Structure 1
Amino acid sequence: MVGKFRSIRLDNYKPLREIVFEVLRQAIISGDLKPGERLMEVQLAEEMGVSRTPVREAIRKLELEGLVVMIPRKGAYVAGLSLKDAADVFEIRQALEGLAAALAAERITEEEIDSLEKILVEINEAAEKEDVDMVIKKDAEFHQVLFKATRNDRLVQIINNLKEQIDRFRVQSFANKARIKSLMDEHKKIVEAITERNVELAKKLAEEHIEKVENNVMNILRKQLNMEDELPC
């Protein structure tokens, strides 16, 4: 973990503990902080140029979000990505995204359709440049526009409650660069179905899309777990 963080730049609009929380959360989601890695308050505080208090508060908040686990007499560790965790998240996500696509097909505006098509172009441009970070960012934007188009605030809230877990698995998914082309094709078909106001097809394609994402992530996690098993003790 040594040397992973720079001194925090203060933001007049956010409490220090919130800035520290966001920095640590992004490091976990991006994989800079690996599953099982220990989070030491003193070291993190020194690297970020802050006191231990905002670091401690940030770690507690990360624990509530399931990104950190506290082990008695040992300390705080980045939560692992288990096969069971992934299966649980994707089971929920598949149902919610299928519903979201169906509702969007009924309620989406022309402006939102234009936004989705624009994002598809941006994902393609980022893919051609092999800018995986931008592909991940635009993929998240694509789904957020889709969720907004449902006009169902409760549904959006429920999906956003899973955001941290979804973002972690999104990063895992794009570890396989070959997956990006498939993603673009799947997104394009979903947008076409929504544009045609084909509710059933939009729902079906969205569910199939999440199933493919799940299969990809599960394969990656299985390989990682096998590699860990093969490490010498």
Structure 2
Amino acid sequence: MSQEISATMNEYLPLRDVVFQTLRQAILRGELEPGERLMEIHLADRLGVSRTPIREAIRKLELEGLVVMIPRRGAIVASITEKDLKDVLEVRRTLEIMAAEIACDRITPELLQDLAEAGEEFRKLKDSEDYTSLAAADVKFHDVIYAATDNQRLISILNNLREQMYRYRLEYLKDTDSHEKLDGEHQAIYENIKNGDKEAVCAMVGQHIDNQKIAILAAIRENEKKKAEKA
């Protein structure tokens, strides 16, 4: 196991749900890496639980596509594939554009200020190699736009897509050359929402997602190339 993981118990959730969420977040955040074996006994010992909730969690993770079952090897963390990325971004691109367009009409002065501050927080971190903090700042910026839609169904779907994107976002942010570009895109999105320019903000959000797609695909291909060279 690449990193130490621990379960945060919640008296309002069944143990199986706590274990599932713990393992899910560990995968999404890269604490359990693609290709890593998920051994029930080892995980049960680490989390201080029996093997039953571990087994149930692995089954649910398999249904989500985060885990695959390999003959004679058992459960392993699913690799980041080009198909997965394209599927997620295809949906996310459309909904992010929708959210930004709605935000032009509905954003409050308070949320507009929050958006400016979130953009500034990312800007302060853009020269950093603290990818986790950078990812959190990026998430915060987009969260303000989601909140500005005042549409709970849309927010729920986008939050789910955001979690699925977490592994990919970290790959993107490892390319330090991308940070300046991201900062500029955030600033343009903020200005367009502030001015209520729907056409401009839709174009910029689309470009923002497209640039991520290009960069992450390059990272995935580079990782696959390195694996092939080692084989």
Report if TM-score (shorter chain) is over 0.5: yes
Q: Describe the superposition over 1:124-145 as per-residue Cα deviations: whole angstroms up to 9, x where unpaired.
A: 2233454321110121121121
Partner of 1:183: 182
Do structure 1's residue 111 and structure 2's residue 101 form an aligned pair? Answer: no
Other structure's SS at 1:116 match: helix
Do structure 1's residue 27 and structure 2's residue 58 form an aligned pair? Answer: no
Unaligned runs of at least 5 residues, structure 2: none
State the TM-score, normalizing by the size of structure 2. 0.91
Partner of 2:119: 120
* Alpha carbons of structure 1 residues 102 and 201: separation in structure 2 relative to 1, 3 Å: same
Unaligned runs of at least 5 residues, structure 1: none
Cα distance in 2 between the residues matched to 1:173 and 1:122: 18
Q: Describe the superposition over 1:90-109 as per-residue Cα deviations: whole angstroms up to 9, x where unpaired.
A: 12211111111111112111
Partner of 1:156: 155
Cα distance in 2 between the residues matched to 1:17 and 1:8: 11
Partner of 1:217: 216
Do structure 1's residue 171 and structure 2's residue 170 form an aligned pair? Answer: yes
Deviation, 1:61, is 2.2
* Alpha carbons of structure 1 residues 7 and 188: separation in structure 2 relative to 1, 3 Å: closer
Partner of 2:55: 56
Residue range with higher mean Cα deviation, 148-157 or 43-52? 148-157
Cα distance in 1 between the residues matched to 2:5 and 2:94: 40
Percent sequence identity is: 43
Other structure's SS at 2:126 match: helix
State the TM-score, normalizing by the size of structure 1. 0.90
CA RMSD of aligned residues (A): 1.9
Question: In 1, are the aligned partners of 2:29 and 2:167 still within 8 Å (CA)?
Answer: yes
* Alpha carbons of structure 1 residues 171 and 6: separation in structure 2 relative to 1, 3 Å: closer
Partner of 1:98: 97
Letter aligned with residue 207 of structure 2: E
Cα distance in 2 between the residues matched to 1:89 and 1:20: 25
Q: How many pairs were matched up?
A: 231
